[in-house]
Structure 1
Amino acid sequence: MKIVRTSTIPLSLNVLLKGQLKFLNESYEVVGISSEGQLLDEVKQREGIKTISVNMERGISPLKDLNSLYKLYKVLKTEKPIIVHSITPKAGLLTMLSGKMAGVPIRIHTFTGLIFPTRKGVVQKLLISMDKLLCSAATHIYPEGEGVKKDLINYNITSKALRVIGNGNVNGIDLEHFSPKQVSETQKEQLRKELKIEEGDFVFVFVGRLVGDKGINELVKAFSLLNKDGKRSKLLLVGPLEQELDPLAPETLNEIKNNPDILPVGFQKDVRPYFAISDALAFPSYREGFPNVVMQAGAMELPSIVSDINGCNEIIREGQNGVIVPVKNSEKLKEAMERMIADKDFYHQLRMNAREMIESRYEQSVIWDALLCEYKKLIKERDYRV
């Protein structure tokens, strides 16, 4: 039996579903579909699966979207999968519609995050309409976490049954890979030297795209205020600057460029060394489904400061493995960062709990097994109906 997994860009298949596709390929023939690129080739080689490129625009582009829809339809008619399973918004809409047109019997979409709750007016209405259309074409909907599930219900996106697989998250966490033991003291010493991080510096790290929706404007402002108060700290920004879709404010870009304590290192294939030289994750995103970064930081024994949004407020429990602050609030973010530095007992308690609280809820094999069981159950139910 054949299963098709889709995402808008290959980065999602390559990073979000790393290892999972290979695991599923042991039970089914798995085909990965995403936009073309080197990362899609990497998925093919590493996961040992067939991949097909169908370019999809992340933004709204009606003509290009229709072209992608037709190409997906043709691929699905040729491949004839029993299940098609999408993640990411645009791939979800196009895959569910083309899957229905092509007669794929089981059409699954996992909502890894919702955009519309952070939008207003006409844009929000359009995004809600798109998600409703997606759900109408799908046979099964899985929110990545309880917060996403609640939003789907509150906004009346679908009347279909909604169920979170496991404790949430699409892929779980590889606890052997994300472990402080995987980074040597020599590696850490060398990286600190390269970045001019001195002994006694408290290092906050952000990992992700440097865009407005990730709370970078508020993070940079909070950190700048913190440093003006004389706290010895550094802010490590690990991720690509993406100014096309969601640009940072000019004053934020200027501060990043001119503040010697802000260390932008761009996209890094292996983020573990950067976690290893840091003291806490700062992740004030506006919206998430179930952020891998927060789980990765916890597995690397880092407490987190996160915004009070879906996913983040499920992984982090206030005062146990991190601190939760209001969205878009630089002052509260600064206060949380200040407390991490000043209250050593509080910080060490958070750090001591960080890895154990990830281990007990999000170990990767548990998520993979739960998904495989779900596929088998859906196929069995379909066979009964047929």
Structure 2
Amino acid sequence: MIKKIALSSNTAWSLYNFRHGLISTLLEKGVKVIILAPKDECSEKLAKLGCQVIDLNMSAKGVNPVEDIGLIVRMARMYRRIRPDFIIHYTIKPNIYGSIAAKLAGVASIAVTTGLGYTFVNDNLVAHITRQLYKQSFRFPKEVWFLNNDDRQAFLDYRLVDRYKAMILHSEGINATHFAPQAKPVEDGRLRFLLIARMLWDKGVGEFVEAARHVRKHHPNVVFQLLGACSVPNPSVIGREQIAEWEKEGVIEYLGSMPDVRPMIAQADCMVLPSYREGVPRTLMEAASMAKPLIATNVPGCRDVIREGETGLLCHAKNAVSLAACIERVLAMSAKERQMMGEAGRRFMIERFDEQRIIDQYMQTLERYMA
């Protein structure tokens, strides 16, 4: 059985928040867990769990050949030094350059593709280069995991990965005990629609704002809220100045970012994510687990976590009119109907996305390759 495993991502935050259960299980089994990620607010939390945390100097975005070759060299040296039995890579750069580094260091690895995002939503030069990098690097992992079948099929259609390596991991799982229904912190009679995401145009933030303008003409007391970091390094970023203009207009409330989103989900009446494409959107899973009805776009990833008309509603992507119509449908529901939709969503999360099922898949894979 595996004794030492390395996990690499472009943020320690994502490893702590999305793979906490997996990491805890590995540690409980006596496995030494080594984290390679740029240092952030969760690095210390991972260390307190019992992980060895290595600060990986890496620019999360951008394509600079000199920097990227340097990243491969650094990661290969690290892998030779720490000598893990197995490596799991997450996010674009660790998937691409970490997979090459693992091969150079002679260590078995898998790559987990958590979402296609900018690379497949767009078709510019950067996206083309990234796809070619995927094609070269994905020759090396034992397996490449995708969070939904649409993403897997996209990689197969572009011939970026061998079919026999391409596997499905149904999300990173949800801890339904942690994300459990809560009473609203404040009962003021106002209905709230909440979007939690990084502030990117690709997340459908613009459509959310436009739909809010339309709905508030007829329902001025309805509240539309944005929660998530702005000014993140991404070509699709929405600056703080733009958000301030929307706040001044009175169309949205911006909540910034926060380590624990549960109080804001508890206060909301419906979670909205009009994204252009996702892996499996964590925020929708969290909200559904807390028994909130959902509205999302009928695109890869989003549609995987919604049963149309039962746990939420699906609208057209890049279409504020379609989104507004779904919001109007939720507003027309009685409180009991919204409650029943939310409760159905929680049952669906437990049935299909329970965290333990995902952890079992990881453990079975590790046992298979390390037997």
1:89 Cα deviation (Å)? Answer: 0.6
- Counterpart of 2:168 in structure 1 is 164
1:255 Cα deviation (Å)? Answer: 4.5
**Residues 37-52 of structure 1 mapped to structure 2, 5 A cutoff:** 37-45=40-48, 47-52=49-54
C-alpha distance in 1, partners of 2:71/2:23? 23
Does the 8 Å contact 1:217/1:248 carry over to 2? no
Does the 8 Å contact 1:211/1:247 carry over to 2? yes
Task: Describe the shift of the 1:111–1:243 C-alpha distance in structure 2 as closer, same or farther (beyond 3 A).
Answer: closer
Task: Describe the shift of the 1:67–1:75 C-alpha distance in structure 2 as closer, same or farther (beyond 3 A).
Answer: same
Q: Is residue 376 of structure 1 aligned with residue 370 of structure 2?
A: no
- Counterpart of 2:222 in structure 1 is 233
So what's the TM-score if we normalise by structure 1? 0.89
Identify the match of residue 25 of structure 2 among 23, 26, 29: 23
Q: Which amino acid in 2 is paired with 1:356?
A: R
- Is there any run of 5+ residues in structure 2 with no aligned partner, and where? none
**Residues 136-155 of structure 1 mapped to structure 2, 5 A cutoff:** 136-155=139-158
- Counterpart of 2:177 in structure 1 is 176
- Is there any run of 5+ residues in structure 1 with no aligned partner, and where? 193-197, 381-386
Task: Describe the shift of the 1:176–1:352 C-alpha distance in structure 2 as closer, same or farther (beyond 3 A).
Answer: closer
SS in 1 for 2:314: strand
- Counterpart of 2:318 in structure 1 is 328
Does the 8 Å contact 2:194/2:270 carry over to 1? yes
Task: Describe the shift of the 1:244–1:25 C-alpha distance in structure 2 as closer, same or farther (beyond 3 A).
Answer: closer
C-alpha distance in 2, partners of 1:251/1:40? 30
CA deviations over 1:48-105 (Å, ceiling 9, x no partner): 111111111111232222222211111100111121110111111121010001111x
1:244 Cα deviation (Å)? Answer: 4.5
SS in 2 for 1:235: strand
Task: Describe the shift of the 1:111–1:120 C-alpha distance in structure 2 as closer, same or farther (beyond 3 A).
Answer: same
C-alpha distance in 2, partners of 1:178/1:357? 14
Identify the match of residue 132 of structure 2 among 120, 129, 134: 129
CA deviations over 1:341-385 (Å, ceiling 9, x no partner): 0133754442231211111111111211221111101212xxxxx
C-alpha distance in 2, partners of 1:341/1:230? 9
Q: Is residue 86 of structure 1 aligned with residue 114 of structure 2?
A: no
C-alpha distance in 2, partners of 1:148/1:359? 23
Q: Which deviates further from its counterpart, 267-276 or 62-71?
A: 62-71
Task: Describe the shift of the 1:376–1:123 C-alpha distance in structure 2 as closer, same or farther (beyond 3 A).
Answer: same
- Counterpart of 1:208 in structure 2 is 197
Q: Which deviates further from its counterpart, 172-181 or 331-340?
A: 172-181
Matched residues, number:
363
Does the 8 Å contact 2:21/2:359 carry over to 1? no
C-alpha distance in 1, partners of 2:162/2:358? 25
1:121 Cα deviation (Å)? Answer: 3.5
SS in 2 for 1:137: coil
Q: Is residue 315 of structure 1 aligned with residue 316 of structure 2?
A: no
List structure 1 segments (4+ residues) > 4 angstroms apart after TM superposition. 249-252
Q: Which deviates further from its counterpart, 330-339 or 34-43?
A: 34-43
* Percent identity (aligned): 23
SS in 2 for 1:206: strand
1:306 Cα deviation (Å)? Answer: 0.7
C-alpha distance in 2, partners of 1:70/1:62? 12
CA deviations over 1:275-296 (Å, ceiling 9, x no partner): 1111100101112111111110
Q: Which amino acid in 2 is paired with 1:178?
A: F
C-alpha distance in 1, partners of 2:244/2:36? 39
CA-atom RMSD, angstroms? 1.9
Q: Is residue 120 of structure 1 aligned with residue 109 of structure 2?
A: no
Does the 8 Å contact 2:146/2:152 carry over to 1? yes
**Residues 150-299 of structure 1 mapped to structure 2, 5 A cutoff:** 150-161=153-164, 162-165=166-169, 168-170=170-172, 172-181=173-182, 188-189=185-186, 198-199=188-189, 201-242=190-231, 244-245=233-234, 246-248=236-238, 253=243, 255-260=245-250, 262-299=252-289
Identify the match of residue 347 of structure 2 among 326, 351, 356: 356
